[in-house]
């Protein structure tokens, strides 16, 4: 049972708000699990003080809706489902899995993003609209949470944390910065947003618990 809603959880004061992502595969790095159990990784994130958990269900990233369900049942933290959602049935599947939030990528859904946001609210799921540019903010008008993706999903090598610093001041909603956050120094974006989402850096670390704690407890 989740103790806090998604927005309330990532706005908890007294620590850096970090969303730990369970990412099974990467197009660049390949297998990120390396034989580990996704549930154990989620457990480490909760133990180390993460504000929420993100899980990628996309098959190309080695994910599944079944693992999402298992993670949701095993943690007290809100869980964000990430995928390349294009079908409205996925909103209902997210609700059935008891995930707290669902990522909606504006670059994929475009004008339909607004419809998907409303559908998420109807199902009790927090819609998190992902944007890559200031122009895409119009697709998040009816959302409460915006995630700024520092990586171009159509050109994975194009990663710029400065994208958050440029777009965030234009957003009056709850803001998250994701992708390309690998070092403590990258947490400077927390001056512009409410939370950061970190996946690959945590999944590649030899000592996951150590690096997660360092991000959560870093003095900025």
SS3 call for 103:
strand
β-pair partners for 18: 196
Q: What is the mean pLDDT of the chain?
A: 92
Tell whether 1 is covered by a domain. no
Burial of 59 (0-12, 13-18, 19+ CB in 10 A): exposed
Tell whether 59 is covered by a domain. yes
Tell whether 107 is covered by a domain. yes
Instruction: Identify the band that residue 220 occupies on the pLDDT scale cut at 50, 70 and 90.
Output: confident
Tell whether 63 is covered by a domain. yes
Strand ranges for 15-67 from DSSP E: 18-22, 25-26, 30-31, 52-56
Tell whether 73 is covered by a domain. yes
Reply yes or no on whether the pLDDT at 21 is more than 60.
yes
Task: Summarize pLDDT for 22-71 with one digit per residue, the tens.
Answer: 999 887 788 898 889 999 999 999 999 999 999 999 998 889 999 999 99
Q: How far is CA 192 from the centre of its chain?
A: 17
Reply yes or no on whether the pLDDT at 1 is more than 70.
no
- Enclosing domain of residue 73: 6-217
Q: Read off the CATH number of the domain in which 98 is found.
A: 3.20.20.70
- The predicted structure's pLDDT at residue 3: 41
Task: Summarize pLDDT for 87-129 with one digit per residue, the tens.
Answer: 999 999 999 999 999 999 999 999 999 999 999 999 999 999 9
Reply yes or no on whether the pLDDT at 155 is more than 90.
no
User: What is the dihedral sign for C-alpha 75, 80, 84, 87?
Assistant: positive
- The predicted structure's pLDDT at residue 13: 65
Reply yes or no on whether the pLDDT at 2 is more than 50.
no
Instruction: Identify the band that residue 158 occupies on the pLDDT scale cut at 50, 70 and 90.
Output: confident
Tell whether 66 is covered by a domain. yes
pLDDT above 90 covers a percentage of the chain that reads: 77
Tell whether 74 is covered by a domain. yes
Reply yes or no on whether the pLDDT at 185 is more than 70.
yes
- The predicted structure's pLDDT at residue 166: 93
- Residue 201: partners with Cβ closer than 8 Å, 6 or more residues away: 181, 182, 183, 211
Q: Count structural domains, the chain.
A: 1
β-pair partners for 126: 101
């Amino acid at each position: 049972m989740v103790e806090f809603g998604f927005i309330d959880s990532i706005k908890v004061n007294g620590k850096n708000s970090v969303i730990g992502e369970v990412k099974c595969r990467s197009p660049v790095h390949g297998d990120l699990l390396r034989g580990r159990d996704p549930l154990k990784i989620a457990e480490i994130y909760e133990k180390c003080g993460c504000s929420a958990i993100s899980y990628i269900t996309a098959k190309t990233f080695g994910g599944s809706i079944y693992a999402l369900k298992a993670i949701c049942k095993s943690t007290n933290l809100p869980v964000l489902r990430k995928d390349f959602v294009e079908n409205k049935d996925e909103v209902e599947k997210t609700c059935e899995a008891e995930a707290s939030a669902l990522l909606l990528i504006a670059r994929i859904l475009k004008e339909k993003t607004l419809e998907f946001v409303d559908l998420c609210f109807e199902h009790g799921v927090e819609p998190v609209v992902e944007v890559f540019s200031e122009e895409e903010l119009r697709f998040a008008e009816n959302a409460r949470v915006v995630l700024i993706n520092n990586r171009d999903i159509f050109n994975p090598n194009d990663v710029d944390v400065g994208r958050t610093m440029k777009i965030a001041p234009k957003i009056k909603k709850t803001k998250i910065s994701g992708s390309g956050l690998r070092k403590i120094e990258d947490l400077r974006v927390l001056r512009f947003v409410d939370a950061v989402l970190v996946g690959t850096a945590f999944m590649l670390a030899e000592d996951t618990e150590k690096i997660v704690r360092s991000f959560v407890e870093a003095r900025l």
